């Protein structure tokens, strides 16, 4: 059933989330005992008194905390989180992979993740899934997708990515992905931990500055942002100097480049936990990937703190379903890790809500619990500003005003 049909069934009249405590992460505070009126897909009214409007359905919010829907800006929905996800999707093919991707999108939604940015899928299948959700073919969270990663021949992402060499190729790849419907362009500016080709050395840059500039300049014409996989410092620098809007990983970020990122408003999606998990190793996971991940982990915390100190806008993302890194809700574990690494809880909540919306450019309608905003909401049985572990205590999720009970065995699909 499509979203419109569900809205007609469940939200034609107003919902009241009664007597709840609103998490206002931007101001590090809780606004206690509020009635939140959801009318259709939007928040109509928030007040401490009984509303005038006729209420169709009341959700008891007592002793609960209401926060904006969570966003994860680094997912690979088509992967399986097993020891070698790339090999797995190549074997099963894109048709099975798109079904898995959809399954994963719904799993996220039930845990309070209402917005996802997929930054690399085979055959651009995440673009098709995003389109199917937007056109109400299937019900699912807000999904943005880059399609294939643009990388150098044999570089990070090769095999499933769009492999290029030179500026002409860079232009062709960018235009092809935009024509395909990409919401954002993903590039691999450096090697990575997980990759089976010879060129994957941690210290190596991959796309060169001219290729990066070609891609970002072309994307800008369409108002499309570029996000980059960038681990080493030279690669991060190439991105920041050449128009990239969102750095993924940023494991070797130094203080001066962090200051430059802050000045230019470039976002960082640190994905701290995925490398720690990969560094643990597991049967079937490539040993080279494990040793490279260990090297990343040795630097990542310092890089993250450099970003924090410089005032870089940090948004939440996980790299979920990459090797040895399933299942959901990894963004919650990532949030807890950001907290452990020294980020104040209110900033962590901001990173996985409003900052993520700002990075996507959707902050005017999503990322805060305020009148007029879209009703993407999570009701928690505990205050996440006090303890980030409370992010796991999900009682209800609302997507565009559609109520989802995470405890039901029924799938939102079968509503
Ligand atoms: Zn990734």
Ligand 1 centroid to residue 320 C-alpha, Å = 8
The confidence score (pLDDT) of residue 32 equals 96
Ligand 1 centroid to residue 169 C-alpha, Å = 22
The confidence score (pLDDT) of residue 193 equals 87
Ligand 1 centroid to residue 171 C-alpha, Å = 22
Please tell me whether residues 227 and 88 are part of one structural domain: yes
Of the candidates 340, 360, 380, which is a domain's last residue?
360
Please tell me whether residues 353 and 378 are part of one structural domain: no
The confidence score (pLDDT) of residue 410 equals 57
The confidence score (pLDDT) of residue 289 equals 87
Of the candidates 360, 383, 405, which is a domain's last residue?
360
Ligand 1 centroid to residue 265 C-alpha, Å = 22
Ligand 1 centroid to residue 85 C-alpha, Å = 11
CA distance 148 to 178: 11
Ligand 1 centroid to residue 199 C-alpha, Å = 17
Please tell me whether residues 180 and 132 are part of one structural domain: yes
Please report where in the chains the tokens 């681990």 appear, as a residue: 231
Ligand 1 centroid to residue 73 C-alpha, Å = 10
Ligand 1 centroid to residue 120 C-alpha, Å = 7
> What dihedral angle (degrees, nearest 10) is formed by the CA atoms of 128, 131, 135, 139?
80
Ligand 1 centroid to residue 147 C-alpha, Å = 12
Ligand 1 centroid to residue 380 C-alpha, Å = 29
Residue-number span of the structural domain to which 20 is assigned: 3-68+368-414
Q: Which residues contact 142 (CB under 8 A, 6 or more apart)?
A: 114, 115, 116, 133, 362, 366, 376, 399
Please tell me whether residues 239 and 318 are part of one structural domain: yes
60 neighbors 305 (Cβ within 8 angstroms): no
Phi-psi region of 111 (alpha: psi -120 to 50; beta: other; left: phi over 0): alpha
Please tell me whether residues 341 and 374 are part of one structural domain: no
CATH number where 209 lies: 3.20.20.140
Please tell me whether residues 327 and 374 are part of one structural domain: no
CA distance 192 to 190: 7
The confidence score (pLDDT) of residue 61 equals 86
Ligand 1 centroid to residue 168 C-alpha, Å = 25
Ligand 1 centroid to residue 352 C-alpha, Å = 17
Q: Which two tokens stand for residue 310?
A: 């410089």
Q: Which residues are within 5 Å of ligand 1 (an ion), measured at CB?
A: 319
Ligand 1 centroid to residue 317 C-alpha, Å = 9
ipTM value of the model? 0.90
CA distance 97 to 84: 14
The confidence score (pLDDT) of residue 12 equals 45
pLDDT per residue, tens digit, the chain (415 aa), is 455 555 544 444 689 999 999 999 989 999 999 999 999 999 999 999 877 667 778 999 888 999 999 999 999 999 999 988 999 999 999 999 999 999 999 999 999 999 999 999 999 999 999 999 999 999 999 999 999 999 999 999 998 999 999 999 999 999 999 999 999 999 999 999 887 666 578 989 999 999 999 999 999 999 999 999 999 999 999 999 999 999 999 999 999 999 999 999 999 999 999 999 999 988 888 888 899 999 999 999 999 999 999 999 999 999 999 988 887 679 999 999 999 999 999 999 999 999 999 999 999 999 999 999 999 999 999 999 999 999 999 999 999 999 998 887 555 554 4
Question: Across-strand partners of 17?
Answer: 36, 59
Please tell me whether residues 209 and 84 are part of one structural domain: yes
Please tell me whether residues 58 and 31 are part of one structural domain: yes
Of the candidates 317, 337, 360, which is a domain's last residue?
360
Please tell me whether residues 273 and 287 are part of one structural domain: yes
374 neighbors 311 (Cβ within 8 angstroms): no
Ligand 1 centroid to residue 77 C-alpha, Å = 10
- What are the C-alpha distances in Å from 93 to residues 96, 125, 181, 197, 337? 6, 11, 21, 21, 34
Please tell me whether residues 232 and 89 are part of one structural domain: yes
Number of domains in the chain: 2
Please tell me whether residues 374 and 355 are part of one structural domain: no
CATH number where 38 lies: 2.30.40.10
The confidence score (pLDDT) of residue 1 equals 46
Please tell me whether residues 85 and 217 are part of one structural domain: yes
Ligand 1 centroid to residue 377 C-alpha, Å = 26
């Amino acid at each position: 059933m499509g979203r419109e049909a569900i809205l007609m069934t469940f939200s034609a009249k107003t919902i009241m989330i009664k007597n709840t405590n609103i998490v206002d992460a931007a101001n590090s505070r809780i606004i206690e005992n509020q009635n939140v009126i959801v009318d259709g897909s939007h928040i109509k009214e928030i007040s401490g008194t009984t509303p005038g409007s006729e209420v169709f359905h009341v959700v008891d919010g007592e002793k609960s905390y209401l926060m904006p829907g969570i966003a994860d800006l680094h997912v690979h929905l088509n992967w399986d989180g097993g020891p070698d996800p790339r090999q797995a999707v190549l074997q099963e093919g894109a048709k099975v992979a798109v079904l898995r991707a959809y399954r994963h999108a719904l799993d996220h939604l039930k845990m309070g993740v209402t917005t996802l940015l997929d930054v690399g899928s085979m055959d651009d299948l995440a673009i098709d899934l995003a389109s199917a959700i937007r056109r109400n073919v299937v019900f699912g969270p807000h999904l943005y997708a880059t399609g294939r990663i643009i990388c150098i021949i044999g570089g990070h992402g090769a095999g499933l990515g769009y492999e290029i060499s030179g500026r002409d190729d860079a232009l062709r790849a960018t235009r092809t992905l935009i024509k395909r419907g990409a919401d954002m362009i993903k590039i691999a500016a450096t090697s990575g931990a997980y990759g089976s080709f010879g060129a994957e050395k941690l210290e190596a840059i991959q796309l060169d500055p001219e290729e990066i500039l070609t891609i970002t300049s072309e994307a800008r014409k369409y108002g499309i942002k570029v996000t980059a996989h960038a681990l080493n410092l030279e690669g991060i620098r190439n991105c920041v100097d050449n128009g990239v809007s969102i750095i993924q990983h940023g494991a070797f970020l130094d203080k001066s480049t962090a200051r430059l990122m802050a000045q230019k408003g470039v976002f960082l999606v640190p994905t701290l936990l995925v490398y720690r998990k990969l560094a643990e190793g597991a049967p079937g996971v490539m040993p080279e990937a494990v040793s490279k991940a260990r090297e990343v982990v040795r630097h990542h915390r310092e890089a993250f703190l450099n970003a924090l100190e410089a005032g870089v806008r940090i948004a939440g993302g996980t790299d979920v379903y990459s090797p040895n890194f399933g299942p959901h809700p990894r963004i919650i574990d990532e949030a807890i890790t950001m907290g452990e690494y020294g980020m104040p809880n209110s900033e962590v909540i901001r990173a996985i809500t409003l900052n993520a919306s700002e990075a996507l450019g959707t902050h005017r309608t999503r990322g805060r619990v305020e009148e007029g905003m879209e009703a993407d909401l999570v009701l928690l049985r505990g205050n996440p500003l006090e303890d980030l572990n409370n992010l796991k205590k999900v009682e209800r999720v609302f997507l565009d005003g559609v109520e989802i009970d995470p405890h039901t065995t029924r799938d939102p699909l079968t509503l």
